[in-house]
Structure 1
Amino acid sequence: MLQFQWVPEFETGIDVIDSQHKRIFEYLLEVDRAIRLQDPDVVKQIARSLIDYSISHNAFEETLMERASYPILAAHSKVHEAFRNRALAYDQRLENGEDCFKVAKEVRSDIGLWLTNHIQRDDKDYVPYVRKSIEGGFVSRMKKRFFA
């Protein structure tokens, strides 16, 4: 089985995004552990949590990109939409009673590969826009004013 692990090269420098990406990597490890336990209920629950969290993370990213006026948001959103459709298809397979261990392994591999490639290729592109937007925000201005 492929091993997926957070490495510094995945850092975007945006704390909230990096924290969410790290959480997805934690879910990938949890899927591994659940499969080793051979408990179908746990496997289904963790796989579904991974799917849900990954989809909600992408939606959160899009909100940040929209606020930052990221110029290629529409293209990035299409990549997220394709991912969402694949992820929901896995969820449907679990719902339909397909072998949960097989589906969980596929979910883990698919999301792990997708995430590592997506962070390094697509996410790195929006970082300057989102960082500038965050740095110009109210909280950032207050930090500079009171803690500089």
Structure 2
Amino acid sequence: MSFVITWTTEFETGIDIIDEQHKRIFEYLEEIDHAIKTHNADEVEHVIKSLIDYAISHNTFEESLMEKAGYPMLEPHHQVHEAFKARAQAYSDRLAQGEDTFRVAREIRTDIGLWLTNHIKRDDKHYVSFVKRNIEGGFVARMLGKFFR
């Protein structure tokens, strides 16, 4: 059974650079699905590593925006990101220990996909209005101006 969650407008935050990064994560999930379907273990492992690295760097970028805006819930959001990092690392460890690549990839596709959609709709939507309101007109807004609508 193939289970891929695709990007839709319901996941838009209104911060273009964040939306583009989120879209890229969805694309990685689709790439994992494709690699599973073509039974390409090397591609699966490469895409999983890329997905995990990208998602972790995206989370760091997101937190930097929250920090610059003085977002009061930064620490709890950071903890959610840290839990994600631990979960992602556990998948990497399982692959490194020789667990079946395709089984791990199917779990990642579903688990990370569901985690991501819930995180965007719940946690990320919470910080967006605060970040937009608190950095508009400031240096960060001018620096990122083209990324805001």
- TM-score under structure 2 normalisation? 0.90
Distance 1:71 1:52 in 2: 26
The one-letter code sitting in structure 1 at the alignment partner of 2:87 is: R
Alignment match, 2:98: 97
Which residue is equivalent to 1:65?
Answer: 66
Q: CA deviation at 1:99?
A: 0.7
What is the aligned partner in structure 2 of residue 15 from structure 1? 16
> Which 4+ residue blocks in structure 1 deviate beyond 4 angstroms?
139-144
The amino acid that maps onto 2:27 is E
Contact 2:68 2:140 in 1 (8 A): no
Give the structure 2 partner of residue 88 of structure 1. 89
Match of 1:30 in 2: 31
The alignment's C-alpha RMSD in Å is 1.9
* Alpha-carbon displacement from aligned partner over 1:9-55 (angstroms, at most 9, x marks no partner): 10000011000000001001000001111111111001111111111
- Report the equivalent of 1:115: 116
- Give the drift of 1:94: 1.1
Identical pairs, percent: 62
For these two proteins, the number of residue pairs brought into alignment is: 144
* Unpaired runs of at least 5, structure 1: none
- Provide closer, same or farther for how the CA distance between residues 142 and 72 of structure 1 changes in structure 2, counting only shifts above 3 A: closer
Q: In the alignment, what sits opposite 1:51?
A: 52
| CA–CA distance in structure 2, aligned partners of residues 105 and 143 of structure 1 | 36
Question: Could you say if the C-alpha distance between residues 76 and 42 of structure 1 is closer, same or farther in structure 2, counting changes exceeding 3 Å?
Answer: same
* Partner Cα separation in structure 1 for residue 144 and residue 131 of structure 2: 18
Paired amino acid for 2:23: K
Q: Work out which structure has the larger RCO, using CA pairs closer than 8 Å and 6 or more positions apart in sequence.
A: 2
Partner-residue secondary structure (3-state), 2:48:
helix
Equivalent AA in structure 2 for residue 119 of structure 1: I
Any idea what SS the aligned residue of 1:131 has?
A: helix
SS in 2 for 1:82: helix
Q: Residue 66 and residue 96 in structure 1: after superposition, are their counterparts in 2 closer, same or farther (change >3 A)? A: same
Aligned equivalent of 2:137: 136
| Inter-CA distance 142–33: structure 2 relative to 1 (3 Å threshold) | closer
Distance 1:141 1:112, change over 3 A: closer
